[in-house]
Amino acid sequence: MLGAIQRIEMPIRRFPEGEEVDYVIVGVGAGGGVLLQRLARAGFRVIGFDAGPFWDTERDWVSDEKGAHNLYWNDLRITAGQHPLAFGANNSGKGIGGGTVHWASFTPRLHPSDFRIHSEDGVGVDWPITYSELKPYYELLERELPVSGPSSYPWGDPHGYPYGPHPMGGVGNTLIRGCTKLGIGVSAGGPVAILEGSRGDRPHCIYRGFCIQGCKVGAKASTLITHVPDALENGAEIRPDCMVSRVHLGQNRRVTGVTYFDGEGRERFQKAKAVIVAGYSIETPRLLLNSACPEFENGLANSSDCVGRYLMAQAGNVVMGRFDELVRMYKAPPAHALTEEFYETDAQRGFARGFAIQTVGPLPISFAKQMMTAKGAWGWGLRSVMMDYNHWSAFGFLGELLPHAENRVQLAGEKDHFGIPIAKVTFNLYDNDKKLIEYGKNKTMEVMWAAGATEVVQETRYAHLVGAARMGDNPETSVVDEFGRTHDISNLFICDGSIMPTQGSANPGLTIMALAARIADYLITQGDEIFTSEKRNSEKPAIRRNLSPPDTWGHGMPAL
């Protein structure tokens, strides 16, 4: 049975040159992909730009660690600070589907407490919305992707998942064993956006372990296969390989469209009645900063000086344990079991907020580099520990780091090959962050020991990005309102992880998509008002359940 299992038709619609469309979306990833699909379904004339390709998954992707290099945002960024972040494969996608092409696809929700950590713990900032406002969108997206996991998930707001949990791999069994020994609850088989049974034209998972190299099978959800096909069917245009370099401000503080470099490197302009930036936490602030103009000398929509600030990464230490028996951690999805037992603030620990412990499944190249940093391995030592690759298991510690103004994206002096100034990112840990990492790292190692490991080592690392264009009610301390609308410009929106004011200890993908679906409901409810009026209607939109891709809503509603 060799050959293409699944095929996505390339877009055929092309808006005529010079024609003004309703919406331009810059970036077709987690946020942009969901928003594009909904705006198209609601009948808007919309174009999704992405700097990377429209993937042909069968011809472009490989079951190979090194060969997956082109899935990531590999354009140069400068990384600085006391605790500099890694980019590229670590957290940034390029191409239709964005980061969802290479996410491991853990899809936990945020907890209700995440939306009000300032009120509850006196740290960070509260969200302008509550958990209960986002909850119906979590439920929608969990069915649209869909998410596999237990029918009863105990943490945060308890809920169940529409698709059944995945079978365990070696790493999941290690986590279950360690947690059980210590009396820690553990969720086996999800929540993860990977099909455990086939649905429509998408086959179920084959447990080949190359999730973060792009799922050739089509079992792992990415907006490329979950939302983009429906967007195209409903008349959206996608312009791949097009790098947007500037958002233009016209009369009356309204944006008029975007300048971009097309696949041949020609500079072009696309007129739009409104612009939505969805480039994630580095490219979104970079684009706004690069769109400075006389009215906004410090960057478009940046009167608050918050564009680029309050960037967050999650603590993502990898803890590795060696076992006498074989594990073979390359089998099964890296993401298949986790615990959120330590998610909430516990005053006795001496720091605010918490963390999750998750399975990961590093493939040989990643594992070699982890041994290089965790053990200082090189030479014969590296050869030796790598010969034991199949004896090792690995957990990812995922901890909440708090927002700080000085953790930020700025423009560097250097330019990319289009001549666009590149991003410089500065990142430092603060006191609460350091305490949380120390505690969480030790707890994760304790679980690995309890599982029966004979050696446990760990590597300091940071995962995921959010923030750098945060939402809030106060225009002086935030960039956008709860609907992603910039406080400064009424027809300029942001719809990606950069608007998250805090991050919890949940992988951000599902939350980004849920926020996008909510923003879509707002835009659709407002209709043409967005294009013609300066009036800001802050009425919360009713949820629209008829915008999901076909045959998703109503499937699998586990009773609690």
Partner 1 sequence: MSGQTARGDSRPVDPRTSRPIGPMAQPGYYRGFSTLSQQKFWDAKTREVILDRVNNVPQIRFFTPEQASLLEAICDRVLPQDDRDAAHRIPIVPQIDKRLYENSHDGYRYEDMPPDRDAFRFGLRGIEEIARHLYATGFLEIGLLEQDEILRSLHDGNPAAAHEIWSQMAVQRFWLLLVSDCADAYYSHPWAWDEIGFGGPAYPRAYMRLERGEAEPWESNEKRYDWRAPDSSLSDAYEPVAGQAEHLGSPGQGGTH
For partner 1, the binding residues in 410-429 under the rule CB under 8 A are 424
Residue list 299-358, contact with partner 1 (CB under 8 A): 316, 318, 325-328, 330-332, 334-335, 358
| 8 A C-beta contact, residue 414 and residue 376 | no
Residue with tokens 């929700």: 109
Question: From the list 11, 26, 33, 91, which residue makes contact with partner 1 (rule: CB under 8 A)?
Answer: 91
The first and second tokens of residue 494, run together, are 């942001």
Report if residue 369 touches partner 1, rule: CB under 8 A. yes
Question: Cα separations (Å) of 504 from 113, 327, 442, 493, 507?
Answer: 9, 31, 19, 24, 8
Report if residue 403 touches partner 1, rule: CB under 8 A. no
What is the rounded CA–CA span in Å between residue 142 and residue 121? 29
Residue list 154-193, contact with partner 1 (CB under 8 A): 167-170, 173
Question: From the list 86, 129, 182, 543, which residue makes contact with partner 1 (rule: CB under 8 A)?
Answer: 86
Total of residues contacting partner 1 (CB under 8 A) = 100
Question: From the list 53, 84, 136, 421, which residue makes contact with partner 1 (rule: CB under 8 A)?
Answer: 84
Contacts of 239 (CB under 8 A, 6+ apart): 47, 48, 49, 50, 260, 262
Report if residue 382 touches partner 1, rule: CB under 8 A. yes
3-state secondary structure (DSSP) of residue 239: strand
Report if residue 430 touches partner 1, rule: CB under 8 A. no
Question: From the list 92, 270, 407, 511, which residue makes contact with partner 1 (rule: CB under 8 A)?
Answer: 92
Residue list 62-81, contact with partner 1 (CB under 8 A): 62-69, 72-80
Question: From the list 20, 60, 120, 473, which residue makes contact with partner 1 (rule: CB under 8 A)?
Answer: 60
Residue list 458-497, contact with partner 1 (CB under 8 A): 459-461, 463
Report if residue 360 touches partner 1, rule: CB under 8 A. yes
Q: Which helix (H) or strand (E) holds 282?
A: helix 280-290
Question: From the list 38, 41, 45, 102, which residue makes contact with partner 1 (rule: CB under 8 A)?
Answer: 102
Residue list 506-525, contact with partner 1 (CB under 8 A): 507
Beta bridge partners of 260: 244, 268
If the CB atoms of residues 36 and 101 are measured against partner 1, the closer one turns out to be: 101
| 8 A C-beta contact, residue 130 and residue 206 | no
Q: What is the DSSP string of 106-125?
A: B-PPPPGGGGBHHHHHSSS-
Question: From the list 10, 365, 405, 557, which residue makes contact with partner 1 (rule: CB under 8 A)?
Answer: 365
Question: From the list 377, 468, 480, 515, which residue makes contact with partner 1 (rule: CB under 8 A)?
Answer: 377
Report if residue 199 touches partner 1, rule: CB under 8 A. no
Instruction: Determine how many CB atoms are found less than 10 A away from the CB of residue 432.
Output: 18
Beta bridge partners of 459: 318
Question: From the list 35, 85, 495, 523, which residue makes contact with partner 1 (rule: CB under 8 A)?
Answer: 85
If the CB atoms of residues 219 and 517 are measured against partner 1, the closer one turns out to be: 219
Burial of 129 (0-12, 13-18, 19+ CB in 10 A): middle
Question: Among 28-36, 201-209, 224-232, 537-545, which window interacts with partner 1 (CB under 8 A)?
Answer: 201-209
The first and second tokens of residue 101, run together, are 């092409």
If the CB atoms of residues 506 and 523 are measured against partner 1, the closer one turns out to be: 506
Shortest Cβ 359–partner 1 spacing (Å): 8
Report if residue 149 touches partner 1, rule: CB under 8 A. no
Report if residue 51 touches partner 1, rule: CB under 8 A. no
Contacts by 297-305, CB closer than 8 A, 24 or more apart = 300/247, 300/249, 300/255, 300/488, 300/489, 300/492, 301/479, 301/486, 301/487, 301/488, 301/489, 301/492, 302/479, 302/488, 303/475, 303/487, 303/488, 304/475, 304/476, 304/477, 304/478, 304/479, 304/487, 304/488
Residue list 213-252, contact with partner 1 (CB under 8 A): 216-217
Q: Which helix (H) or strand (E) holds 396?
A: strand 392-399
If the CB atoms of residues 35 and 194 are measured against partner 1, the closer one turns out to be: 194
Residue with tokens 């994760």: 444
Shortest Cβ 528–partner 1 spacing (Å): 40
Report if residue 272 touches partner 1, rule: CB under 8 A. no
